[in-house]
Amino acid sequence: MPSYRVRALALKKTKLGESDLIVTLLAEDGCQVRAVAKGARKPGSRFGARVEPYTVGDFMLSTGRTLEVITDAQTAESHQHIREDYDRAQAASVVADVLDKISVECQTEERLFGLAVATLGALQAADGDDLLALTVAFLVKAMAMHGYRPQFDACPVCGGPVHADEERFSLEAGGPLCEGCEAGAAETARMSPGARNALVALLGATMAEVPGLGVPRPVLLDAFGLMRAFVGYHLPARCRALDLYAAAVGR
């Protein structure tokens, strides 16, 4: 059986049979790969932490009957500090869940892997409100890469001007609506001016720059609520980690 090597991030695992796992991987090219790790749930398995979520590694895969089979794995970055802190682990679970939902088999999106690794790398060292800022930044960037880049400077329906104070954000069109378009719009969410400015800043910053932006928590919570609605509107499956995270941050 010919095997090939893939650099990938482990997103999720599902129990299979007595002691196997199905590991959902995000490959370097942005494709999702589901692969079986045989015996991975037994203590002393040669896989051990190498197939745990948030691990970036080099995986040797061979093509099985229905799923790929992991024949070997070497860790490049285990993201151990995420596992050692409850708040970080919670933020990382949102990242993994959203990536699981937006990545597709054999559909390349090279920027997605870079975003994933940059986000987990930033979460490793972050604390407190920075974790929330990184989570919101990840959501808006991931949606942009998924083909839903929000537009904040003009009405996304007609291109007309939008007012600066409180606005209705169209979940469908992905931006604040002008007065004319607002009338007939169905699915909208409230967007405070603070949340709008924060999202523009987060979208324009690198993950490493996000903690330095110093966006206040109430504004981050507004922006998070908006992005959660946006993600929920466009993704076909429910992100349950996002629901739990929302409950934990009180949003």
Partner 1 sequence: MAFYAPPIARLLEELERLPGIGPKSAQRLAYHILRGDTEAAARLADAIVEVKRAIRFCERCFNFAESELCEMCADPTRDATTMCVVEEPRDVVAVERTGEFRGTYHVLQGAISPIDGIGPEQLRVRELIDRLGRESVSEVILATDPDIEGETTALYIARLVKPLGIRVTRIASGLPVGGDLEYADEVTLGRALEARREM
161 binds Zn ion (CB under 5 A): no
Choosing from 22, 25, 33, 96, the residue that interacts with partner 1 (CB under 8 A) is: 96
Task: Restricting to residues 95-114, name those near Zn ion by CB under 5 A.
Answer: none
202 binds Zn ion (CB under 5 A): no
Binding mask 23-52 for partner 1 (x = CB under 8 A): --------------------xx-xxxxx-x
- Rounded CA separation 241/220 (Å): 18
71 binds partner 1 (CB under 8 A): no
Q: Are 240 and 181 in contact (CB under 8 A)?
A: no
Choosing from 18, 106, 183, 237, the residue that interacts with partner 1 (CB under 8 A) is: 18
Task: Restricting to residues 100-129, name those near partner 1 by CB under 8 A.
Answer: 100
162 binds Zn ion (CB under 5 A): no
Give which of 40, 33, 34 is closest to 15, Cα–Cα: 40
Give which of 45, 46, 36, 44 is closest to 16, Cα–Cα: 36
CB of 16 to partner 1, least distance (A): 8
CB of 33 to Zn ion, least distance (A): 41
178 binds Zn ion (CB under 5 A): yes
Sheet with 188-191: list strands edge to edge: 175-176, 167-170, 188-191
Spell 115-150 as b/e; 16+ CB within 10 A means b: bbbbbbbbbbebeebbbbbbbbbbbbbbbebbebeb
Of 122-130, 181-189, 191-199, 242-250, the window that binds partner 1 (rule: CB under 8 A) is: 242-250
DSSP string spanning 139-206? Answer: HHHHHHHTT-----SS-TTT-----SSSEEEETTTTEEPPHHHHTT--SEEEE-HHHHHHHHHHHHS-
C-alpha angle 157-132-112 in degrees, rounded to nearest 5:
60
96 binds, among partner 1, Zn ion, none (CB under 5 to 8 A by kind): partner 1
Q: Which residues of the shown chain bind partner 1 in the complex (CB under 8 A)?
A: 12, 17-18, 43-44, 46-50, 52-54, 75, 78, 80, 83-86, 89-90, 93-94, 96-97, 100, 240-241, 243-245, 247-248
Q: Which residues of the shown chain bind Zn ion in the complex (CB under 5 A)?
A: 155, 157-158, 160, 178, 181
